[in-house]
Chain A
Amino acid sequence: MAKLTMVQAINLALTEEMERDPGVLVLGEDVAQDGGVFRLTDGLLEKFGPGRVLDTPLAESAILGTSIGMAMAGLRPVCEMQFCGFSYLMMGQFEAHATRMRARTHGQVTLPLVIRMPYGGGVRALEHHSESREVLWAHLPGAKVVLPSGPRNARALLAAAIRDPDPVVFMEPKHSYRAFREEVPDEPEVLPIGKAQVVQSGTDVTLVSWGAMMRPTLKAAAEITGKRGVSIEVIDLLSIAPLDAQAITDSVRKTGRCVVVQEAPRSFGPSSEITALINDKAFLYLEAPVARVTGYDVVTPYFGREKHYIPSAGRVARALETTLDF
């Protein structure tokens, strides 16, 4: 067991998967010599050489487009979008080909590839570097969208993403890259994609979140548990697509109350889908309306103002109390 940051855990997963499978390769802007702008791929060039760790020209569409070609030929490319804010340039390739190749060929051609990208706010970054846009990818049939929340699950989910037969968007909460360390086992771990984790079981209210928002969510859960002596169930979704409907349904049928926490803007986000899901599957069990703590439907402000826009533990705590008191 070693205590690792998420950066180290992701680097470990990449190393382990490249050692395990010679078809795995890493490509992206500045990923080789520089080790990536966040140093996620540090040391891979030295270990695996320039044939498997590729600095690409600066073009997001072709980073995914060439990865699609490599995957068609049987390789398992792990490509990096330097920031979520630059990833929209590959949307065409993602929608037109990455998500469709299996369906259009009835499974004859499949694309086992991973698109890694840092996402989210709270790191005082330049414009276009702070958004949480997981829903853009999750909406597309055929896409898998995974968002780890800590070092241990990041390592296990990235291994799963690399071994997965489908394209996986792996969104890394950059606020959590070096924010804390976690025990990571020596042996490689793999977590299933599309399965949530109940990280704390409880009976009075369900708290659902994912990615970077798990930190304020857990903090608020601890605060309200201490303050009111209630029993809170906390679910870490880990994947947005496919969504683990069963885990959410089972929990809300038990607690009758639910608060969903998302960093992304409110409208049309995963929290809307989760609310609709609860309406479909657990309506008669509800003791209170499903509450949502989300970003606002505004263009992400520059970092001078961002702290009031990103959902905080305080907002989650207030929503929990309102839901418990309903």
Chain B
Amino acid sequence: MPRKPVAKFTIDHLQVLDEHGVVDAKLDPKLPDERLLEMYRWMRLARELDERMLKLQRQGRLGTFPPNTGHEAVSIPVAMAMGPKDWFVGAFRETGGRLVRGEPLTSPLYYYNGWEEGNILPDPALRITPVSVVIGCQVPHAAGLAFASRYQGEDAATVCFIGDGGTSEGDFHEGLNFAAVWKAPMVCIVQNNQWAISIPRSAQTASQTMAQKAIAFGIPCVQVDGNDALAMWVAINEALDHARSGKGPYLIEAVTYRLMMHTTADDPKKYRSEAEEKCAWEKEPLIRFRAYLAGKGLWDDGKEGALIAEVKEQVDQAVRAFEAPVDWAQDTAFDHVYGTDHPHLHEQRAEFLANVRFDGGKEADHG
């Protein structure tokens, strides 16, 4: 018996807009001008919100959060391409996409300031799952949601996000494998931002690309410049078509860079060079998109200034709403343990409330 290759694979890399804003005419999706402007507006709004959240956190007005700056071109085009019945299954660096999908600007503010209210959607029909803090868990959820869409006869797909670090988790592999075997309409976006807290991409996996991990499950894949919103637009539309046509899941590796800290609780200077960061800032997604718009005659400094003022006002309003005094009950945790009524929780709630009264509404002393 001769020895011969039984399978061969290639991984494509897709870039439509280079870091200077020069578009590849053949690959240009030729989006209508208003869609391009809408995309840029979302990216600018997400950036503004992120920068404001960092200020609020540094001033002690917000809890620890994972900044999203630099990731705008990944989740925003994806969310813009999704249909109303599709499920958006995020990890925690897709704030832009969540806003596009319909989450209010106040949601991340509440969530990262320690209020479950940040998870409550104005309408469950928005089909956005809560932030998944434990890395990787959301991939099997997405496979289950995708399965359910088909089971219920909906022409819908599920899009889930995970980071480069997340690809090391068992749930990433298990979830992709289930989705592939079930030919579930799911798209998995690996947001490869080069860093998982302090662990660089090179120490996370010996794979040449993140995309190729899909090959092992029989899932088609592509590597995309994740700082290029147009390439993401092209890739997500191909992926959604593939998933919706019954061919099963699709994986997109979006190559980007975590320009900020992992969360506000760490300092990247401890583990990476400023030269590396400086180089990454030159490739960030908004600069090139703005240059592209300007090249098409759609943008100039005046429009940029007006947009910045507009999104600042929008974020100001959200922060004012978020910081307005609220009179939320302290004992809500007892409301939502079960959907059924159980006496031990009544008893413990009474004990809790008695202790709150005893503390006189002051901060309890924890030593």
List residues of A whose CB falls within 8 A of some B CB.
25, 51, 54, 56-57, 59, 61-62, 64-75, 77, 92-93, 96-97, 101-110, 141-142, 144, 164-166, 193-194, 242-243, 245-246
Q: Contacts of B140 on A, CB cut-off 8 Å?
A: 61-62, 64-66, 68-69, 93
A110: nearest chain-B partner, CB-CB: B339
A105: nearest chain-B partner, CB-CB: B119
B181: nearest chain-A partner, CB-CB: A57
Q: Contacts of B333 on A, CB cut-off 8 Å?
A: 103
- Asked if B112 CB lies within 8 Å of chain A CBs, one says no
Q: Chain B 136-147, CB within 8 Å of chain A: the 1/0 string?
A: 010111111111
Q: A103 to B177: give the CA distance in the assembly, Å.
A: 29
Q: Contacts A62-B178, A66-B144, A103-B337 known; A109 to B130 CB distance under 8 Å?
A: yes
* Smallest CB separation, A241 vs chain B (Å): 9
State the majority secondary structure of interface residues on B. helix
Q: Contacts of A245 on B, CB cut-off 8 Å?
A: 343-344
Listed from nearest, the 9 A-B pairs whose CB atoms lie closest are A69-B144, A65-B140, A165-B339, A73-B148, A62-B174, A66-B144, A69-B141, A69-B145, A59-B174
- Asked if B167 CB lies within 8 Å of chain A CBs, one says no
Q: A64 to B182: give the CA distance in the assembly, Å.
A: 15
**A194 with B340: CB separation less than 8 A:** yes
Q: Contacts of A73 on B, CB cut-off 8 Å?
A: 87, 144-145, 148-149, 152
Q: Contacts A62-B171, A69-B144, A106-B332 known; A242 to B338 CB distance under 8 Å?
A: yes
Within the complex, which residue of A65, A102, A141 is in contact with B139, where a contact is CB–CB below 8 Å?
Answer: A65
Counting chain A CB atoms within 10 Å of each CB, the highest count among B177, B338, B340 belongs to B338
B345: nearest chain-A partner, CB-CB: A242
**A106 with B338: CB separation less than 8 A:** no
A52: nearest chain-B partner, CB-CB: B151
- Asked if B364 CB lies within 8 Å of chain A CBs, one says no
7 A-B pairs (CB sep. < 8 Å): A62-B140, A69-B142, A101-B130, A102-B336, A109-B130, A142-B338, A245-B343
Q: A249 to B294: give the CA distance in the assembly, Å.
A: 76
Interface residues on B, range: 35 or more
**B342 with A242: CB separation less than 8 A:** yes
A51: nearest chain-B partner, CB-CB: B151
- Asked if B246 CB lies within 8 Å of chain A CBs, one says no
* Smallest CB separation, A10 vs chain B (Å): 22
**B148 with A106: CB separation less than 8 A:** no
**B339 with A107: CB separation less than 8 A:** yes
Q: Contacts A74-B148, A96-B134, A104-B116 known; A144 to B141 CB distance under 8 Å?
A: no
Q: Chain B 119-142, CB within 8 Å of chain A: the 1/0 string?
A: 111001000011011100101111
Q: A56 to B135: give the CA distance in the assembly, Å.
A: 23
**A69 with B147: CB separation less than 8 A:** yes
